Chains A and B, each alone.
Chain A
Amino acid sequence: MNDTIVVKIDKDLEDIIPSFLENRRKDLEKVKDAISQNDFKTIESIAHKLAGNAGSYGLDDLGEIGMKLEVAASKEEFPLVEELFQNYRDYMNKLTIEFQ
């Protein structure tokens, strides 16, 4: 299993990527808290935004996770939500960005 996920991103976005990633890490914590409280509405809302914005920044796979997490949260499918949260966290931990 690879330890890094390398994504090439347009250099134009270089100055706004750090705050985007910082916000995603904050969202991870919010999702973690929401899972512990069975707060599917909050998870769905965070996942909906992730589904909409990650692909714009060139992180299409993260957007896919967001899309699946939104659907799973809307159906309150707890095991799947937990699994997708793990995917989300792994993705963020392994992510390496190269600007081009």
Chain B
Amino acid sequence: MNNARKGSGLLKTVLVIDDDLDTLAFMNKILTNAGYEFLQAVSVKESQITIQNFAPHLILVDYKLGEENGFEILNYLKSVNSMRLIPVVMMSSTVNKKLVLQALSSGALEFIGKPLKAATIVQKVKKILKQHELPTIIFKESPKVLAKCIAETIKINEMNVLLQSSVKFDTKTPLKIDSAFFNNLGANNCRFNTEGEPFVANPGVYRTKVNFKGMNENTARKIRNIKVQT
């Protein structure tokens, strides 16, 4: 289906899964007019690909998808850890208590009966997206990230360097230093670890002693020979 060139990241994306093309055309019209990025799929397989590619903010899925059904989408989302927080609304023109309860107990956030009315849909989408805004995700196994900060070199010897920055580092924190000054010294291959409590130079400005490990003699000599211009 026509989901190409979607996913700009500027708009909230809503995926509508339905095997009825006229329902998709209607939903495209009202959701696009309401300021959402509209994605569509007509089958379970196509839905899985779209979910993987776009990780939509909200999914509206029809109960009956030809020979397939919307529960297959709910089960798929539960099986993919990164997608299980996507809110899902199941919809159908077949509405009975048993089906509604089954949908809700299978992971659907809400169940809405067809025919879908424009005002109801927009109101519901708006409400759900507001409730599910900026979820906080706590990882069991924390993914590693590289956070960069700007620092100034206050003083240096062949054992350590004193860096000043707005970040208050813990002691014995491994650092990566990306600096033309350090590269010229040949120190870019050293390992760096903070040592001791940072010294508060000014409110919000900290000086941290960083030890060198693995420094070769050539770099040590260059440091000793640094001439500071006065």
- Beta-carbon contact of B114 and A12 below 8 Å: no
A51 at the interface (CB under 8 A from B): yes
Pick from A10, A52, A67: contact of B23, CB under 8 Å: A52
How many CB-defined contacts (below 8 Å) exist between A and B?
58
Instruction: List A residues at the B interface (Cβ < 8 Å).
Output: 10, 12-13, 16, 19-20, 23, 48-49, 51-57, 60, 63, 67, 70
Residues of B in contact (CB 8 Å), total 19
Residue of B nearest to A16 (CB): B25
Q: Considering the chains assembled together, what is the distance between the CA atoms of A56 and B26 in angstroms? A: 7
Give the distance in Å from the alpha carbon of A53 to the alpha carbon of B20 in the complex: 8
Cα A1 to Cα B92 in complex, Å, equals: 34
Neighbouring A residues of B30 by C-beta, 8 Å: 12
Check A55–B117 contact: CB distance below 8 A.
Answer: yes
- Of B25, B115, B117, the residue contacting A54 (CB under 8 A) is B115
Residue pairs across A and B with Cβ atoms less than 8 A apart, 28 shown, are A12-B29, A12-B30, A13-B26, A13-B29, A16-B25, A19-B22, A20-B22, A20-B25, A23-B22, A48-B64, A48-B93, A48-B94, A49-B20, A49-B22, A49-B23, A51-B93, A52-B62, A52-B116, A53-B20, A53-B22, A53-B115, A55-B114, A55-B115, A55-B116, A55-B117, A56-B23, A56-B114, A63-B115
Is B53 on the interface with A (CB-CB < 8 A)? no
Given contacts A52-B115, A55-B116, A57-B26, 5 further A-B contacts (CB under 8 A): A16-B26, A19-B22, A53-B115, A56-B114, A56-B118
Measured between beta carbons, the chain B residues less than 8 angstroms from A20 are: 22, 25-26
